[in-house]
Amino acid sequence: MNVLRTFDIVAQLVEKYPKEDALAIKRNGKWEKFSTIEYKNLADQVSFGLMASGFTKGDKII
């Protein structure tokens, strides 16, 4: 798979490592891990939220 866009990286990770830990955060002193599939789902939710808020291609988000 060729990486042409940033979100292609996530799709490639899901394809190659669907059960691997992709992200970990520490909450209340405990580590919480997310698989590549969970990470992709969270990224999609953020993306959909931005689109629902009116952001479009080319907009800068700071």
Q: Which range of residues forms the domain containing residue 23? A: 6-52
In a domain, 26, yes or no: yes
Please tell me the total count of domains within the chain. Answer: 1
- Is 62 inside a domain boundary? no
Whole-angstrom distance, CA of residue 61 vs CA of residue 46:
12
Is 25 part of a structural domain of the chain?
Answer: yes
Q: 47 in a domain, yes or no?
A: yes
Give dist(CA 2, CA 25) in Å, integer: 29
pLDDT over 90 at 7, yes or no? no
pTM: 0.71
In this structure, is residue 58 part of a structural domain? no
Provide φ and ψ at 15, rounded to 5°: -65, -45
- DSSP bridge partners of 23: 34
Query: Is 57 part of a structural domain of the chain?
Result: no
The pLDDT of residue 11 is 84
Mean pLDDT of the chain: 88
Give a yes or no: residue 38 inside a domain.
yes
